[in-house]
Amino acid sequence: MNLREKCPMIYFDDLGDERGKLVVIEGGQTIPFEVKRVFYIYDSDGTVIRGQHANRKSEFVLINVAGKSKVRITDGKEEIFVELNRPMTGVYIPKMIWKDMYDFSKDSILLVLASTHYDGAEYIRNYEEYLKEVES
């Protein structure tokens, strides 16, 4: 499986009507894990790089519910780039994948759904350490 297949884009249905749009995300159904944690990142801009980590235990889905941002994703061998720019589209990031989020528009609200409760100890924030762990 290549990296693009490991980290697919997920296209949510638009249940909108003349009153507006509605997107539903159901844990274990529209995304491949049960959601234990939700957080969102806003007030970032084009000058910062966020993320810069891999997670030993967590899976994520990232969705720009407003504005846009980019994600650089690598498994230490391949590298892909994803642009998140619509509330109906997300990207799935499995465990042990390195990600950087950047190029946030001023109005960006990046919603992140996670499969775990927060545990800082499962984050790998050093790229050399990540390469060692992912290769072993």
Does the protein bind ligand TYD through residue 90 (CB under 6 A)?
A: no
- Contacting residue, 51, 84, 104, 115, with ligand TYD by CB under 6 A: 51
Cβ neighbours around 118 below 10 Å, total: 11
Relative to beta strand 37-42, strand 109-114 is: antiparallel
Catalytic residue among 6, 53, 57, 86: 53
- Contacting residue, 118, 126, 129, 132, with ligand TYD by CB under 6 A: 118
Specify the stretch interacting with ligand TYD by CB under 6 A; choose among 1-9, 26-34, 35-43, 65-73. Answer: 35-43
Does the protein bind ligand TYD through residue 50 (CB under 6 A)?
A: yes
Backbone phi and psi for residue 133, each to the nearest 5 degrees, phi listed first: -70, -40
- DSSP alpha helix (H) spans, the chain: 3-6, 127-135
How far apart CA 33 and CA 51 sit, in angstroms, is 20
How far apart CA 50 and CA 48 sit, in angstroms, is 6
- Contacting residue, 39, 79, 81, 107, with ligand TYD by CB under 6 A: 39
- C-beta of 102: minimal distance to ligand TYD in Å? 10
Kind plus residue range of the DSSP H or E element containing 11: strand 9-11
Q: Applying CB under 6 A, which residues contact ligand TYD?
A: 37, 39, 41, 50-51, 118
The residues assigned a catalytic role are: 53
